[in-house]
Amino acid sequence: MPSADSSARVAELLTSLYTCETSDECVGLAADLGGVIKTLGLRTLLTEGVIDNLRTNALNKKSGLAREGAVLGIAGLCRVLGKPAQPYLFTLLPILFDLHADKGAPVREAAESAANAFFALVSPYGVKVVLPVLFEAMNKKWQSKIAALQFLGRLATVAPIQTGFLLPEIIPEISECLHDTHDEVSRAATKCMMNVCGVAGNPDIAPHLPILVSCMGHPTEVPACVQKLSATTFVAEVTGPALAIMVPLLVRALNERSAAVLRPTVVIVDNLCKLVRDPAEAGQFLPQLLPGLDRIIETAASPEVRALASAARATLVRVGGGVQKDAAPSGAAANVPSTEDATKVVKDFAASIANVKVADSYATTAIEHIVQLVRELIAAEAYSEVEWKTTLTQYIQALASEDLASVMAKAIFTHYYSLEKKRRGMESTDDDEEEGEMLCNCDFSLAYGGMMLLNHTTLRLRRGHRYGLCGANGAGKSTLMRAISRGQVENFPSPDVLRTVFVEHTLQGEDASMSILDFIASDPKLKHIAVAEKQKALEEVGFVGDRLTQEVGSLSGGWKMKLELARAMLMNADILLLDEPTNHLDVANVAWLEKYLTSQTHITCLVVSHDSGFLDNVCTNIIHYERKKLAYYKGNLSEFVKVRPEASSYYTLSSSNVKFTFPPPGFLQGITSKTKAILKMTNATFTYPGAPKPSLSNASVTLSLASRVAIVGHNGAGKSTLIKLLTGETIAQEGTVWKHPNLRIGYVAQHAFHHLDQHLEKTANTYIQWRYQGGEDREVLEKASRQLSDDEKAQMEVPIMINGQPRRVEFLLGRSKLKKSFQYEVKWIGLIHKHNTWLPREFLLEKGFQKLVQAFDDREASREGQGYRELIPAVIRKHIEDIGLDGDIADNNPLSGLSGGQKVKVVIAAAMWNNPHMLVLDEPTNFLDRDSLGGLAVAIRDWGGAVVMISHNTEFVGALCPEVWNVEAGRLTHKGKSDVADSAFEDHEESARKIAEKVAAKSGKKKLTRNEMKARDVRRRARHLKWLAEGGEKEPDTDDD
């Protein structure tokens, strides 16, 4: 309790405050008053009647000095006492806004100063507490309105996230001020509205904010605004704040009568809602938008508008989670405790930790404010201990010392965070229950490509633990690891404190001509390490003997990955970031990697992988993406699935969630059976430039439409080389590769992204348009089989004798069937078209024009394939959706913003566009999640063309491929059952025809013509007359006579 002297001193200062002759004197006395109260304790504000005294004098209409002194006293207390005093001074805030309209200029200036001082006390999570006062001021005198609008505009700047949550409440109140007849109020409202709408952070809407805000104040501008918005392509994620800005405009537009306004409006509603990820954010706007859409569906004159409105309504209901009018709160709002429950929790901790007497009015005021902040923290799902302690501790100091306030804030956080973990089914990961040094414990948010991936979540990593990062394709797993490696995660320890190394598939872009040892030695980050140590690290991962001098460009995908791992090992990382480390690794190397990672007790690993067996064998913990948060689970993937059964798709090949549908292969002339050969390689040998021995020797294979072939073998054995020979990427130095002239091959390379790397600014849709717009596949033009060597160019100059005249080939113009082969129309250099000549295929091949003939065959095959459908955006979108990629992503998101799994789907879709007869997949399972893997497996199983694949995923291969080609040290051996009939197009046409005739003869009786029946009757009558004349055994009538 304050002493009598202290009480007298407070009373004296208050009295002097109201009689000061100058403002400076008032400011000094207010500071002194604040110092005395701070010394005595904040309870003095109530026990000595300071708050009531200030209120009484601030409302003293007879004395301007009293009003000015009281307001300056409030400002002084705000500055000196700080945030702990806010709950007690808050009751004076309405008076400050009222006094902005005071008749005395000194009072108005003092009120503005006090409002600014109070602003500094408001927590970002206290915005909702202040809003009722601001809304009340917006309905008073014009000076009060301006003050409240300015205050709210500043709040949006310092608390954008919290303001964004409250936009549905804020925008209607500011809109009323936009219509105010006082110009200054209208201008202040416009500026405030721009500030609060800016917190939405939507890059698609941001350029249109001026016209949107103007439209809120001028309803006649709605049609023009809708027309401008209709020209916008919405691609960024749409959140609640963005909808809060757009919905008022859309509601007005839906009530228009003009079809020219209604049509783009319903399209905008549809497009916006498709980009909403959180049902709760869309659900809150269902009651506002549904009536307008229902009215259009029932009454619009245009069938097209009615259909579009129906589609928009279906999208809105789907993303909003239903149409229940009285539904319980959803999303984060459903988890916010009631005021009564939260008050009980806070009071219990206050009594047990700080020994606070929670029943008195002083404690009750502080607790009420703390409870409001707790509920806002929970609503924002800001489950970070640092965030809670920063927000609550200063206000708890009104009840306890700073140390006890910090303990109490942590206790409140722990209580509610444990409830949240229980609600999510998360296993406890409290510090006390985990072993190992805490390397990282930071709160952060992560966005990429206009999409919020993680919002106010916590990253906790301990030394020696191996974390599996799990989530659907596009959730942001690789983006998170890349952000960590680049130092873009807020609050993450700096590189000099914590060394992280990101291991990903990037070596294909490095200098391919360097030897492996030189490549490691040239790394600037490893210059301090001795060459012998570098060589030892390389030998540990398998680079021994001649492999050390190999060129980087000659390495297979698996060996490139091992080289990256060796480089990471040499960097002596604290945290190893592994993005799909088992891609391109064979079984033996995967086992080696598992053994290596599990033996490292000092290194922490963060792993993204779709290999469920690898995650099971390696991981000690699972980090799972759940509603833009990171959820932590102890144990490996199997243990995680026990807690979250819906994650079992990581184990099984299922297409229940993702369905791929491949277009049927086109017709191949002369191929009457699915077991007839369409491609044949005989005794092919290939050696890379500079390599000491061939990568593939004397390989012979045959493929038909029924083929389902898996190519297996160790890394570097020659599997990818075999694929490249089959597809024409490279040309065999010995042996032959024959394929049907009209054969179209869809090829997905091992480093699938090389197809897309030159087109990252394009969308998936525009990439396919570019690739096929010339009538043929532009990727085929880059193959080695289309590039002329110097010798072949010289051969083109050699004249051919035609009708006794020497002629030189300019190009091939046409093709037609000639017996069992083809003939080609040749255009001659220097001669007009009437002198063109048709020459047999064999003649042109004999003269050395193989590539010219091959190029023409490829062009004809591609042209035939594209004849099945139009190369227009709508058709391409449907095709891409059939391969499992969302159509909106395909139309709007640039390739640079897609995840690895999404890019693989784009590559597969592009390869399948021209209806190929054969699909070649080099490591198709890399980067695909389990659902997508299941969809791909079902599509391959049901497809009617040939499939050849390299994959180390034994589950995937075993389910699809009865035939196996094993490549070991460049030698090819066949295993399993072959569905191929070993026949070639030229050589076995006649035998196939005879077999077909025999089958046809046995199939049933031949129906005779009328003349044939007459001739048969004549033969039978003659035979009968002969028998009558000669006697003997009568010859029976048969169908063959």
pLDDT greater at residue 391 or residue 612: 391
State the pLDDT confidence band at 1006, using cuts at 50, 70 and 90: low
pLDDT, tens digit, for every residue of 225-272? 888 888 777 767 788 888 899 998 999 999 888 888 888 899 888 888
CATH T-level fold of 786-863: OB fold (Dihydrolipoamide Acetyltransferase, E2P) (2.40.50)
> Would the pLDDT of 752 be above 70?
no
H helices of 179-232, in order, are: 183-198, 209-217, 222-230
Q: What is the pLDDT of residue 982?
A: 38
CATH T-level fold of 673-744+916-1000: Rossmann fold (3.40.50)
Q: What is the pLDDT of residue 315?
A: 85
> Would the pLDDT of 924 be above 70?
yes
Average pLDDT over residues 865-890: 82
From 353, 359, 388, 358, select the one nearest 374 (Cα to Cα).
388
> Would the pLDDT of 682 be above 50?
yes
Q: What is the pLDDT of residue 782?
A: 61
H helices of 239-353, in order, are: 240-254, 259-274, 279-283, 286-299, 303-320, 339-353
State the pLDDT confidence band at 987, using cuts at 50, 70 and 90: very low
62-78 burial: b if 16+ Cβ within 10 Å, else e: eeebbbbbbbbbbbbbb
Q: What is the pLDDT of residue 986?
A: 34
406: Cα separation from own chain's centroid:
39
pLDDT greater at residue 717 or residue 142: 142
pLDDT, tens digit, for every residue of 703-715? 998 888 988 887 7
> Would the pLDDT of 465 be above 90?
yes
Q: What is the pLDDT of residue 978?
A: 47
Average pLDDT over residues 219-228: 88
Specify the DSSP element, H or E, that contains 828: strand 821-828
> Would the pLDDT of 149 be above 90?
yes
Among 193-207, 808-822, 885-899, 920-934, the minimum mean pLDDT is found in: 920-934
> Would the pLDDT of 218 be above 60?
yes
- Alpha-carbon gap, residue 261 to 666, rounded angstroms: 45
Q: What is the pLDDT of residue 547?
A: 76
Average pLDDT over residues 89-94: 91
Average pLDDT over residues 770-774: 82
Most confident of 20-29, 149-158, 637-646, 753-762: 149-158
Q: Two tokens at 291?
A: 């009536």
Q: What is the pLDDT of residue 980?
A: 39
- Check if the beta carbon of residue 91 is closer than 8 Å to that of residue 75: no
Among 437-446, 857-866, 894-903, 934-943, the minimum mean pLDDT is found in: 857-866
CATH number of 201-327: 1.25.10.10
From 350, 397, 351, 366, select the one nearest 46 (Cα to Cα).
366
pLDDT, tens digit, for every residue of 783-810? 555 566 677 677 777 888 887 788 888 8
Identity of the residue numbered 558: G
Average pLDDT over residues 280-289: 82
Cβ count within 10 A of residue 834:
5
Q: What is the pLDDT of residue 538?
A: 83
Q: What is the pLDDT of residue 9?
A: 85
pLDDT greater at residue 540 or residue 948: 948
pLDDT greater at residue 1000 or residue 466: 466
CATH 1.25.10.10 fits 1-121, yes or no: yes
> Would the pLDDT of 653 be above 80?
no
Q: What is the pLDDT of residue 427?
A: 45
pLDDT greater at residue 654 or residue 85: 85
Percent of the chain with pLDDT over 90: 14
Q: Is the pTM of this model over 0.85?
A: no
451: Cα separation from own chain's centroid:
8
Q: What is the pLDDT of residue 621?
A: 92
Average pLDDT over residues 11-31: 84
Average pLDDT of the chain is 81
> Would the pLDDT of 422 be above 60?
yes
CATH T-level fold of 333-424: PWI domain (1.20.1390)
pLDDT greater at residue 252 or residue 278: 252
From 751, 749, 756, select the one nearest 728 (Cα to Cα).
749
Q: What is the pLDDT of residue 849?
A: 79
Pairing of strands 629-634, 621-626: antiparallel
Q: What is the pLDDT of residue 3?
A: 62
State the pLDDT confidence band at 98, using cuts at 50, 70 and 90: very high
Q: What is the pLDDT of residue 323?
A: 46
pLDDT, tens digit, for every residue of 354-373? 788 877 888 888 999 999 99
> Would the pLDDT of 1029 be above 80?
no
Range 794-800 contact pairs with CB under 8 angstroms and sequence separation of 24 or more:
795/847, 795/848, 795/849, 796/849, 796/852, 798/847, 798/848, 800/847
Average pLDDT over residues 1019-1039: 76
State the pLDDT confidence band at 190, using cuts at 50, 70 and 90: very high
Average pLDDT over residues 633-645: 87
- Alpha-carbon gap, residue 50 to 58, rounded angstroms: 12
Q: What is the pLDDT of residue 767?
A: 92
Q: What is the pLDDT of residue 1004?
A: 53
Average pLDDT over residues 580-588: 76
> Would the pLDDT of 145 be above 90?
yes
- Alpha-carbon gap, residue 616 to 640, rounded angstroms: 10
| First CA to last CA distance, the chain | 132
pLDDT, tens digit, for every residue of 499-545? 888 876 555 444 556 778 788 877 777 777 888 888 888 887 778 77
> Would the pLDDT of 399 be above 60?
yes
Average pLDDT over residues 628-643: 87
Q: What is the pLDDT of residue 509?
A: 44
State the pLDDT confidence band at 117, using cuts at 50, 70 and 90: very high
From 795, 688, 718, select the one nearest 968 (Cα to Cα).
718
Q: What is the pLDDT of residue 903?
A: 85
pLDDT, tens digit, for every residue of 319-344? 776 544 444 444 555 678 888 988 89
From 559, 556, 580, 576, select the one nearest 568 (Cα to Cα).
576
> Would the pLDDT of 1002 be above 60?
no
Average pLDDT over residues 976-987: 42
State the pLDDT confidence band at 619, using cuts at 50, 70 and 90: very high
Among 449-463, 466-480, 829-843, 938-952, the minimum mean pLDDT is found in: 449-463
- Alpha-carbon gap, residue 134 to 104, rounded angstroms: 22
Average pLDDT over residues 773-792: 66
Average pLDDT over residues 862-872: 70
From 127, 143, 130, 139, select the one nearest 89 (Cα to Cα).
130
Average pLDDT over residues 483-496: 84
Q: Is there a shared CATH topology between the 673-744+916-1000 domain and the 786-863 domain?
A: no
Average pLDDT over residues 732-748: 85
> Would the pLDDT of 148 be above 60?
yes
From 544, 553, 851, 519, select the one nearest 689 (Cα to Cα).
553
Among 152-166, 230-244, 404-418, the minimum mean pLDDT is found in: 230-244
- Check if the beta carbon of residue 392 is closer than 8 Å to that of residue 354: no
Q: What is the Rg, in whole angstroms, of the alpha carbon atoms belonging to the chain?
A: 39
Average pLDDT over residues 378-386: 83
> Would the pLDDT of 485 be above 50?
yes
Q: What is the pLDDT of residue 192?
A: 93
Domain parsing of the chain, residue ranges: 1-121, 123-199, 201-327, 333-424, 673-744+916-1000, 786-863, 1005-1041
Residues 6+ apart with CB under 8 A from 604: 439, 461, 462, 463, 464, 465, 466, 467, 574, 575, 576
> Would the pLDDT of 689 be above 90?
no
> Would the pLDDT of 908 be above 70?
yes
Among 276-290, 549-563, 912-926, the minimum mean pLDDT is found in: 549-563
Q: What is the pLDDT of residue 271?
A: 82
